[in-house]
Amino acid sequence: MRIDILTLFPDNMDRMLHESILGRACRKGLLDLHCVQIRDYTENRQNQVDDYPYGGGFGCIMMAQPLKSCVEAVLARGEIPREKTCVIAMTPQGTPFRQETARRLQRDYDRLVLVCGHYEGMDERFLEACVDEELSLGDFVLTGGEIAAMAVCDSVCRLVPGVLSDPECYIGESHWDGLLEYPQYTRPEVWEGREVPEVLLSGDHEKIARWRRAQQLRRTCERRPDLFAAFRAENDEDRRLIEELRKQEGRPRITKELACRPAKEEDLPVILSIVDEARAFLKEKRIDQWQGAYPEERDFLRDMLRGECHVVLHGDEITAVFTVSSAHEPEYDDIRDGKWTPDLEACVLHRCAVRARWAGTGMSDRMLRFAEKCSLENGRRCLRTDTHPKNRSMLRLLSDNGYRYRGNIDIHCEPGHESVRRCYEKILKTHA
């Protein structure tokens, strides 16, 4: 595996990447890691790599020319074919990096080119013309892409055969099969009054294995409900452990084929109860969203008259509600700190919520799938939406389902409430 990291700080990164496990793997010839100075590919005397943004704003933007020239020069080195090479830009707008991503990159490519942004970002034209993927470590911003690039490099390289002493070193770790790792303990047996779980001292390997698997499932459910909702049990033992866990948690399971239909006026009591549950959840989390009268009965009645409000059904139970509108949304015209994908007609997702007892079961993901289907049925292959910047549950749901952050807007809301919303969109795939 060869990895080229394009950066403004190659010396610092090179020292880090050639230490410890990766350094030993490089000396064995298992890895070929290079850090390349972007400034060496400028076309001006000052070695300038950035300039002021068109349209104004704070900071400077990395220019397309030195980035493109650097990528082209790096790609020209070596004999690895282009189809086995992936050019990746590290950006806050990228797809979240997961363990699954690391496995895919190691499996599908022999070479990665990681481009580190800096300042206020990179010229969008370079990303469009030269980059295969954009990756992000998460919903936060770093000074530059170097830390993110080193994280990706380390995560991918440790999966290369021979870099670690045995595959068991990473199989069973957090995220390998979509779950977090079980708790670990070492000597002494009792530390400050805290004892090692008795099962780990029993010597019964079957019991220990079952306890560890149960802890993986429980820990993932409690700490990462998004991962737990996406996990699919592949054996009877996992299914049994999950069943026990669900009984303990009191959460329902999706056991029937879900359906989606246009909402009817007789659905209003259930819809408004779902809204009240969502409003209470947001209030508890101190998120200033849906904390006034909106959304109210007349909003949903209007949506119903237009045929835009839908409900999701599990059997006869309404589990979620959403509105997908093909009408022009004027507030979206004034997006700032970014832009929508141009030349795309889009639907807008409004007023969506899942019944509280179905939280953490994957119902929110299914609701999004139905909303996307509605958008496609309206002839729009782009779905847009917005949410409060502090609504972490919705932000995570959108990110995990492939929605891309596009900027911010101010909405018209009741006096005394926060108006800023983060905007997301997803280009939908059409199936023949």
Q: Domain of 218: which CATH number?
A: 1.10.1270.20
Q: Are residues 363 and 294 in the same domain?
A: yes
Structural domain count, the chain: 3
Domain assignment present for residue 225? The answer is yes
Domain assignment present for residue 112? The answer is yes
Which residue, 249, 267, 297, sits at the end of a domain? Answer: 249
How far, in Å, CA of 132 to CA of 1, rounded?
A: 18
- State pLDDT tens for residues 258-296: 999 999 999 999 999 999 999 999 999 999 999 888 999
Q: Are 379 and 347 spatial neighbours (Cβ–Cβ below 8 Å)? A: no
How far, in Å, CA of 409 to CA of 411, rounded?
A: 6
How far, in Å, CA of 422 to CA of 395, rounded?
A: 9
How far, in Å, CA of 217 to CA of 238, rounded?
A: 9
Domain assignment present for residue 104? The answer is yes
Domain assignment present for residue 173? The answer is no
Domain assignment present for residue 86? The answer is yes
Q: Check which CATH number belongs to the domain holding 132 and give it.
A: 3.40.1280.10
Q: Are residues 56 and 90 in the same domain?
A: yes
- Identify the domain containing residue 245 by its residue range: 190-249
Q: Are residues 287 and 213 in the same domain?
A: no
Please state the length of the chain. Answer: 432
Domain assignment present for residue 111? The answer is yes
Q: Are residues 53 and 129 in the same domain?
A: yes
Beta-carbon count within 10 A of 240 CB = 13
- Residue 273 in 3-state DSSP? helix
Q: What is the Cα gyration radius of the chain?
A: 25
Q: What was the pLDDT predicted at 195?
A: 73
Domain assignment present for residue 172? The answer is no
Domain assignment present for residue 91? The answer is yes
Residue 136 has phi, psi (to 5 degrees) of -135, 145
* pTM for the whole structure: 0.54
Which residue, 167, 198, 216, sits at the end of a domain? Answer: 167
Q: What was the pLDDT predicted at 432?
A: 45
Q: Are residues 241 and 337 in the same domain?
A: no
Q: Are residues 147 and 201 in the same domain?
A: no
Q: What is the pLDDT along the chain (432 residues), one digit of tens a residue?
A: 999 999 999 999 999 999 999 999 999 999 999 999 999 999 988 889 999 999 988 889 999 999 999 999 999 998 899 999 999 999 999 999 999 999 999 999 999 999 999 888 999 999 999 999 999 999 998 999 999 999 999 999 999 999 997 776 556 555 667 899 898 999 898 788 677 777 788 788 988 998 899 889 988 988 888 888 889 998 999 998 888 787 667 778 788 889 999 999 999 999 999 999 999 999 999 999 998 889 999 999 999 999 999 999 999 999 999 999 999 999 999 999 999 999 999 999 999 999 999 987 789 989 999 999 999 999 999 999 999 999 999 998 898 788 999 999 999 888 888 999 999 999 997 754
List CB contacts of 163: < 8 A, sequence separation 6 or more.
21, 22, 25, 30, 31, 157
Q: Are residues 108 and 222 in the same domain?
A: no
Q: Check which CATH number belongs to the domain holding 370 and give it.
A: 3.40.630.30
Q: Are residues 401 and 372 in the same domain?
A: yes
Which residue, 167, 182, 203, sits at the end of a domain? Answer: 167
Q: Are residues 38 and 8 in the same domain?
A: yes
Q: Are residues 352 and 296 in the same domain?
A: yes
Tokens 């349209």, residue located:
55
Q: Are residues 235 and 280 in the same domain?
A: no
What tokens were used for 242?
A: 């999950």
Q: Are residues 359 and 285 in the same domain?
A: yes
